[in-house]
Structure 1
Amino acid sequence: MSDAIAVLEKPLDDTAEPGRRVRDRAATERTILEAAKRLLAEHGFQGFGINAVARGASCDKQLIYRYYGGLDGLVEAIGADVGSWVRDRIPEDAGGMFLLTYGDLMERLILLFIEALRDDQLMRKIVAWEISENTEQVRRLSEARSKALALWIDRMRGSLIPPKGVDVVAVNALLIAAVQHLVLSAATSGQCAGLSLKTEKDWDKASVAVKRIVRGIYG
């Protein structure tokens, strides 16, 4: 057994102090989860397997079954982590911006969403899978992300009311879809429909355009 495996197995020793075992187990679970996310981001579900995750986490594969129950449990855990991603990467504080209108709220969400998606390879993969794969695993991850975004809007909206006559579900879906397409196109070709998306200056231009669209709809 390698030294790395021995270290991860050590917390399971019944002679260890209870508090130490709990802390080490939590650390091992997190190591496995991060390895699974990294593997999924780099190779997709085609290369997603117990043995590959175990190699990435430098642990015995039995720990994956013990802590997560197998691949399905890992996917569930990644889905839960996706919900945390929305909370962590799209903070609920106003960031110094006064949210006086529903338009303020959506402008902040869209701009934060652009930044967060650009910085996260796995989330970009999930978005791409949503439109290209119809599997139970993809649906779980997609639903977790969509639910987390909807909850963010509900919590932040408070008493803010969108303008009358605006179908907010349809409009917000189109805004989010537009952002996702921009980010995915930038990652693959560095442009979208003739708009260069290679530099921060390019993205500033895209952000200004998105803000104008949001304000044109919501005021």
Structure 2
Amino acid sequence: MKDKENTKRKLIKAVGEVIKVEGFQSLKISKISQYANVDRKLIYRYFGNLNYLVEAYILENDYWMVFSNQMKQMLVDKQFAGSEQLITEILQNQFKFFASQKEMQRLILWELSVDSPLMKSIHNTRESMGQEFLELTDPHFDNGNVNFRAIAAILVGGIYYTILHTVYNGGKFAGIDLNTNTGKEDILKAIGQIVSWAYKHD
């Protein structure tokens, strides 16, 4: 059983290494088994097929998958005064996480550029997790003038696009240099300000 788990860990880790070094287009059974230094038949034995192996990797590494349970527990432990503080923390952490994770940047690019049932499934899982947090904000905005879900959509999309644009096309966006700590802090501050404005102007 221990050997099985070790091999599964090797294969999942190898997926990330292939993505980082060669990109998603190189995710093939032969390539992953080569990086993991294990027999390719073990991918079928332990995961069924390539898609389930890639899915296992994404479930362990995607921001919304990684931090969903952690954030829920923090809420249970009353580490947040309310939904404004919680959603601000979630969005700011998303920015920091995505800016530092090359594999996840490539994942989103892949998700946007291919027609893949696997990517649709991952998107739907991520969306359902995001909905759980947005439901916490709904009571504050009921019968108000602010559609916070629309604001959250723009913020999440903006985080992805801003980081991807600067990574692949240069370090600046709207004159802000995201390669510097000052630039990153400016974006984090702006996320908090937008959420705060939404809560104050409801």
Q: TM-score, normalised by structure 1?
A: 0.76
Equivalent in 17, 20, 24 of residue 45 of structure 1 = 24
- Compared CA separation, residues 162 and 43, structure 1 to 2 (3 A): farther
Equivalent in 167, 179, 188 of residue 198 of structure 1 = 179
Q: Secondary structure of 2:128's match?
A: helix
Quick check: which has more Rg, 1 or 2?
A: 1
The offset of 1:92, in angstroms, is 4.6
Mean Cα deviation higher: 109-118 or 125-134: 125-134
The offset of 1:77, in angstroms, is 1.8
Q: In the aligned structure 2, how far is the partner of 1:123 from the partner of 1:43?
A: 14
Greater share of helix: 2
Residues 98 and 104 of structure 1 are in contact (CA less than 8 Å); yes or no, is this contact kept in structure 2? Answer: no
Q: Secondary structure of 1:161's match?
A: helix
Counterpart of 1:23 in structure 2 is 2
Residues 103 and 162 of structure 1 are in contact (CA less than 8 Å); yes or no, is this contact kept in structure 2? Answer: no
Structure 1 portions without partners, runs of 5+: 1-21
Letter in 1 for 2:47: Y
| 2:70 pairs with 1:70 | no
Q: Secondary structure of 2:140's match?
A: coil
Q: In the aligned structure 2, how far is the partner of 1:41 from the partner of 1:97?
A: 37
Q: How does 1:146-185 map to 2 (within 5 A)?
A: 146-153=127-134, 157=136, 161-163=139-141, 164-185=144-165
Counterpart of 2:110 in structure 1 is 129
Counterpart of 2:101 in structure 1 is 120
Q: In the aligned structure 2, how far is the partner of 1:92 from the partner of 1:119?
A: 24
Counterpart of 1:61 in structure 2 is 40
Structure 2 portions without partners, runs of 5+: none
Equivalent in 126, 132, 140 of residue 121 of structure 2 = 140
Counterpart of 1:15 in structure 2 is none
Q: In the aligned structure 2, how far is the partner of 1:89 from the partner of 1:35?
A: 25
Q: In the aligned structure 1, how far is the partner of 2:122 from the partner of 2:106?
A: 10
Residues 79 and 144 of structure 1 are in contact (CA less than 8 Å); yes or no, is this contact kept in structure 2? Answer: no
Deviations 1:38-66 (A, max 9, x none): 21343333211001000110111111111
- Compared CA separation, residues 55 and 136, structure 1 to 2 (3 A): same
RMSD of aligned Cα (Å)? 2.6
Q: How does 1:89-104 map to 2 (within 5 A)?
A: 92-93=73-74, 99-104=80-85
Deviations 1:131-188 (A, max 9, x none): 322222322332333333334555xx3x883332322321211111111122212322
- Compared CA separation, residues 59 and 134, structure 1 to 2 (3 A): same
- Compared CA separation, residues 143 and 37, structure 1 to 2 (3 A): farther
- Compared CA separation, residues 140 and 198, structure 1 to 2 (3 A): same
